[in-house]
């Protein structure tokens, strides 16, 4: 996310679809989508086994599928997409990304996605019924409390997380097991078979979708064709740790890059003035966080506090093109212009998470904890990884998963040292680069990997333009 993008070969929507699909010789029956879009998409429903571990059961569930047809001929088959989370729905995400992804892949593939289990209409994971007031209240509180916001916050979060876990179990104990990465990996291969192509998986997984990509590759290594994992997460930690400490292992470097980029383009960065250095800017930001931690302010019905600022900070760091706006937001706080700050941060404020991420993530996690004390080593790891974001924004996820009572009925418990039929490609395109775009096209069209260690420079540096008026 800072200056350069390293490419390497690695061996490692609530939308209703109108047509049912069948995994038989007739294949998937695509038809019009009941979606608010002008894109030329098609939709289908595919029945798959509800419980892949119960071979005597004939129960099925229907996956909602969406297809953005190839824009060029001849078609080279389909690429399946998972947009992350876990818990991101596939149908609405395809509407958001299709016109970007199609040219990146070369335009010769159908782009296909689906709502994974726990999302959309596919076993939608909703923990709270209309009579449950304690669960939603605990979730709202857990979402806005950060462990470092007070010396009692961790204990309060543990108690809130216990309520969330219990509410989810009470509401979903009969259906909670058939979600998780392993079953979704099997669903993916059901889709591949129903597509009736060559029986090989072509896949692009983003963020949490990289864990799904690693899982399906480990479970079905001989059926991998061209698999791209984008913004790679640590799959081993996802399954085998109480919390993924590597999630933010480069976040402090990203902050350093944001601040250095600001000073390198002072004409486009509101914070770059008065001879400030990177260390000066760090002190200024830490001072703001300290100020709002102990003296929050209210404006137009919104409380601006430590958690609000930290959440916005993290959200903007994902998109380098927004760095000028992030700098302007901080500068607005310095001048007490709360209206401008809120207008800017509304673009990227980290929202309260859908419960699907809990159902999937917590069901997949193997270790558990019976007390807050057992989690202390995990929080120590978070603090070791990052100075800026050891508690953003998923601490309650860690605590809820530690107390989770609905393990996935199948969890992948092997390693990821498998040799796939074809190598996987890992990269990121969060900062656009023609070099990166070419690598993606060459990979999907020709199966060509970039040379190991290839470095792609972004098309433009950060802070290459001023912040727009807000």
More confident residue, 129 or 4: 129
Angle between helices 90-105 and 434-446 (to 10 degrees): 90
Weakest-pLDDT range from 87-91, 343-347, 387-391, 424-428: 424-428
The torsion region of residue 300 among left (phi > 0), alpha (psi -120 to 50) and beta comes to: left
Task: Quick: pLDDT tens for 14-54.
Answer: 232 333 333 444 589 999 999 999 999 999 999 999 998 88
- The helix (H) or strand (E) run that includes residue 265 is none
Write down the mean pLDDT value for the chain.
85
pLDDT surpasses 50 at 274: yes
User: What pLDDT does 201 receive?
Assistant: 97
Q: Are 48 and 190 in contact (CB under 8 A)?
A: yes
Which of 258, 414, 386 has the alpha carbon at shortest distance from 322? 258
Residue 230 banded pLDDT, cuts 50, 70, 90: confident
User: What pLDDT does 24 receive?
Assistant: 41
DSSP character for 221? G
Which of 463, 465, 470 has the alpha carbon at shortest distance from 337? 470
Percent of the chain with pLDDT over 90: 51
User: What pLDDT does 189 receive?
Assistant: 97
How would you list the strands of the sheet with 78-82, edge to edge?
Answer: 8-10, 424-427, 224-230, 201-206, 78-82, 110-114, 60-68, 42-49
DSSP character for 449? P
Task: Quick: pLDDT tens for 441-469.
Answer: 999 999 988 888 888 888 889 999 888 88
Query: What is the rounded average pLDDT of the residues 52-74?
Result: 91
Percent of the chain with pLDDT over 70: 86
Weakest-pLDDT range from 17-26, 258-267, 334-343, 357-366: 17-26
Residue 64 makes CB contacts below 8 A (sequence gap 6+) with: 15, 16, 17, 43, 45, 90, 91, 114, 115, 120, 121, 122
Query: What is the rounded average pLDDT of the residues 137-146?
Result: 65
* Partners of residue 5 on adjacent β-strands: 456
pTM score, whole prediction: 0.85
- The CATH code that applies to domain 5-123+177-241+411-456 is 3.40.50
User: What pLDDT does 248 receive?
Assistant: 78
Q: How far is CA 304 from CA 288, 293, 311, 317, 333, in A?
A: 11, 9, 11, 19, 10
Query: What is the rounded average pLDDT of the residues 367-391?
Result: 90
Which of 335, 284, 343, 283 has the alpha carbon at shortest distance from 312? 343
* Alpha carbon distance 348, 22 (integer Å): 40
* Alpha carbon distance 431, 428 (integer Å): 8
Task: Quick: pLDDT tens for 424-443.
Answer: 555 565 678 899 899 999 99
What are the residue boundaries of the structural domains of the chain, listed by start?
5-123+177-241+411-456
More confident residue, 283 or 74: 283
pLDDT surpasses 90 at 345: yes
pLDDT surpasses 60 at 350: no
Query: What is the rounded average pLDDT of the residues 93-97?
Result: 92
Q: Are 230 and 427 in contact (CB under 8 A)?
A: yes
Query: What is the rounded average pLDDT of the residues 267-278?
Result: 95
More confident residue, 15 or 284: 284
User: What pLDDT does 204 receive?
Assistant: 94
User: What pLDDT does 141 receive?
Assistant: 62
Q: Are 177 and 409 in contact (CB under 8 A)?
A: yes
Query: What is the rounded average pLDDT of the residues 259-278?
Result: 96
User: What pLDDT does 57 receive?
Assistant: 86
User: What pLDDT does 138 receive?
Assistant: 60
Q: Are 228 and 205 in contact (CB under 8 A)?
A: yes
User: What pLDDT does 429 receive?
Assistant: 58
User: What pLDDT does 30 receive?
Assistant: 96
Q: Are 64 and 120 in contact (CB under 8 A)?
A: yes
pLDDT surpasses 70 at 420: no
User: What pLDDT does 17 receive?
Assistant: 34
pLDDT surpasses 70 at 423: no
User: What pLDDT does 395 receive?
Assistant: 80
Residue 8 banded pLDDT, cuts 50, 70, 90: very low
User: What pLDDT does 132 receive?
Assistant: 60
Q: In this structure, how many other beta carbons lie within 10 angstroms of the beta carbon of residue 435?
A: 16
The bridge status of strand 297-299 relative to strand 302-304 is antiparallel
User: What pLDDT does 136 receive?
Assistant: 63
Task: Quick: pLDDT tens for 318-336.
Answer: 889 999 999 999 999 999 9
């Amino acid at each position: 996310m800072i200056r350069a993008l390293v490419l390497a070969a690695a061996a490692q929507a609530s939308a209703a679809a109108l047509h049912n699909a069948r995994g038989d010789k007739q294949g998937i029956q695509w038809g019009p989508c009941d979606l608010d879009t002008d894109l030329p998409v098609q939709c289908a429903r595919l029945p798959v086994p509800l419980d892949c571990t119960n071979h005597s059961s004939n129960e099925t569930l229907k996956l909602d599928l969406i297809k953005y047809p190839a824009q060029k001929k001849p078609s080279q088959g389909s690429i399946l997409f998972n947009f992350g989370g876990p818990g991101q729905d596939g149908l609405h995400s395809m509407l958001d990304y299709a016109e970007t992804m199609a040219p990146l892949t070369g335009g010769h593939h159908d782009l296909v996605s689906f709502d994974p289990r726990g999302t959309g209409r596919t076993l939608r994971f909703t923990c709270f019924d209309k009579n449950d007031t304690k669960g939603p209240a605990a979730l709202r509180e857990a979402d806005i409390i950060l462990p470092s916001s007070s010396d009692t916050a961790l204990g309060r979060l543990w108690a809130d997380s216990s309520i969330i876990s219990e509410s989810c179990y009470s509401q979903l104990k009969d259906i909670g097991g058939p979600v998780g990465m392993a079953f979704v990996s099997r669903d993916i291969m059901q889709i591949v078979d129903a597509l009736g192509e060559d029986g090989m998986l072509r896949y692009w997984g983003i963020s949490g979708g990289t864990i799904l990509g690693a899982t399906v590759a480990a479970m079905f290594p001989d059926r991998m064709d061209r698999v791209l994992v984008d913004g790679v997460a640590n799959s081993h930690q996802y399954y085998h740790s109480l919390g993924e400490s590597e999630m933010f292992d480069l976040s402090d470097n990203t902050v350093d890059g944001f601040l250095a980029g600001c000073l390198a383009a002072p004409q486009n960065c509101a914070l770059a003035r008065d001879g400030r250095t990177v260390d000066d800017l760090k002190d200024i930001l830490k001072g703001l966080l300290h100020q709002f931690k102990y003296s929050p302010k209210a404006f137009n019905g919104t409380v601006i506090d430590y958690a609000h600022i930290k959440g916005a900070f993290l959200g903007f760091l994902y998109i380098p093109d927004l760095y000028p706006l992030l700098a302007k937001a901080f500068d607005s706080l310095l001048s007490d212009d709360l209206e401008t700050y809120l207008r800017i941060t509304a673009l990227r404020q980290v929202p309260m998470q859908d419960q699907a991420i809990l159902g999937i993530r917590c069901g997949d996690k193997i270790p558990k904890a019976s007390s807050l004390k057992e989690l202390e080593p995990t929080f120590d790891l978070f603090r070791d990884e990052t100075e800026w974001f050891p508690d953003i924004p998923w601490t309650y996820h860690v605590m809820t998963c530690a107390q989770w009572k609905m393990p996935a009925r199948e969890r992948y418990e092997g390693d990821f040292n498998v040799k796939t039929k074809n190598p996987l490609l890992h990269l990121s395109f969060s900062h656009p680069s023609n070099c990166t775009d070419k690598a993606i096209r060459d990979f999907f069209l020709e199966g060509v990997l970039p040379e190991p260690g290839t470095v792609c420079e972004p098309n433009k540096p950060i802070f290459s333009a001023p912040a727009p008026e807000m």
